[in-house]
Amino acid sequence: MNQPDRYERFVLPEHAKKLEYVADTKLENAGTYTVEREDHTLGNLVRMQLHRDPAVLFSGYRIPHPLEPRMLIKVQTIGASAGAKREGEKGPQEAFTDAVKALQGEYAELRSKMADALAVKEMEGGGGGGGSSGGGGGGGY
């Protein structure tokens, strides 16, 4: 069959780097991150989080080829890539780091709320009563 192995789409080879940054030589305060073994799910999350930052002028992502599990995220910020930093300025690397940390915080909050809701549901119902719950536990979540 002429189809890539699905395992290769998410398992990072030993020699490969998960994340790499290259500063843009044509645009000031801009750079591109290459993220291996990720797709639109993470790309859109990071792009939208970067858009929330007032110091970010542009952020976008693309998947260069649908059969290659690689994503490029481009970030351009207001300033502070190499020099004195003024109020509201940050470089692309700082903006990217802030976006990822904010997403980690949102994920932790969502996970906590989900665990709390599941605990309340288990205490209320005790697991019986039919319904359309689909059965089973939380799968370790």
62 pLDDT tier (thresholds 50, 70, 90): very high
pLDDT, position 68: 87
Residue 131 lies in a domain: no
CATH code: domain of residue 45: 3.30.1360.10
Residue 138 lies in a domain: no
pTM of the model: 0.77
What's the domain range around 96?
A: 6-80+88-124
Cα–Cα distance for residue pair 95/76, rounded to 1 Å = 9
Residue 132 lies in a domain: no
pLDDT, position 115: 96
Phi-psi domain of 94 (left: phi exceeds 0; alpha: psi -120 through 50; beta: other): alpha
pLDDT, position 23: 97
